[in-house]
Amino acid sequence: MTGSTPAILLVDDEPHSLQAMKMALEDEFEILTAPGAEEAMAVLEEEWVQVIFCDQRMPGRSGVEFLTEVRERWPETVRIVITGYTDSASMVAAINDAGIHQFIAKPWHPEQLLAVARNAARMFQLSRENERLTLEMRFLNSTTETRVEKRRRSLREGMGFETILRAPNSAMNAAVTLARQYASFDVPVLMTGEPGTGKTQMARAMHYGSLRSEKPFYELNISGMPEDLAMVELFGAKRGVLPGGVAKIGLAQKADRGTLYLAGIEGASPALQLALHRMLRDGVVTPVGGQEAVSTN
């Protein structure tokens, strides 16, 4: 990579799609391309890549399978999937196995692609900075707010409400003000809005603006997801329920003391709604196939 221009790797087996993405991004980024997973791996071994845009359906390995390996070898690289269809099982696998940052649906708009690329490059920079600051903190024993702690706080704020782009007189300003207020309280929050209005970004901003910012942030879109699959992903499963005989820890437990953002909650089944209500009211969940309640906050 030359200079300080972020490098983006585009992976797609269709040449015209690669060319279209390259034209949309090449003015601001260094663009690398690959027609498949194997070629992309070769690029990653030679180049320092910050962001990957990968098509889901490709000959050989799918986008999720490829990005799962990328996560293991280059975990700091921001991974984005481009897909022309909605498959809940693939989406769940992408979130849990490949650590996908975002899905982009076809057909995409050049401005949309560029905005996602900018945010992804910024996230990469923030992640690297956070890792460096974490290493510095290991050598600091003072309990007062040190210079590094101030920088960490500034970093969290940089991943918060400042990332929500809006005009000075935007109607979003009132929503952001309310979100800041509720983020300071340890309460469940329901956000409503049309698809594409940035609810996920608002949820992430609230997490980093809260006292839970040092703990995990997880998200799951349950829209169109079968009830049994949603139950397993959220609450986990006891040994013997899933193929292979292994137990699974649900996102409700993984996000303990952190934040769990659920998209598509309006489509939840009555049984799932009751389970979620119990989690919010009593702070407990029951893994699928189990009897004992597990506490979570």
What is the torsion angle, in degrees rounded to the nearest 10, for the CA atoms of residue 266, residue 271, residue 275 and residue 277?
A: 50
State residue 1's pLDDT score: 41
> Which phi and psi (to 5°) does residue 120 adopt?
-65, -40
How far is 253 from 284, CA to CA, in rounded Å? 9
- Stated pTM of the model: 0.48
Q: Name the residue with higher pLDDT: 134 or 251.
A: 251
* Mean pLDDT confidence for 158-175: 76
State residue 85's pLDDT score: 67
Span(s) in the chain for CATH 3.40.50.2300: 7-118
Of the pLDDT bands very low, low, confident and very high (cuts 50, 70, 90), residue 31 is: very high
State residue 76's pLDDT score: 86
CATH topology of domain 7-118: Rossmann fold (3.40.50)
Structure tokens at 207: 């997490």
Structure tokens at 68: 């799962």
CATH topology of domain 215-297: Rossmann fold (3.40.50)
Q: Where are the beta strands (DSSP E) in 15-140?
A: 30-34, 51-55, 78-83, 102-105
Span(s) in the chain for CATH 3.40.50.300: 215-297
How far is 212 from 189, CA to CA, in rounded Å? 14
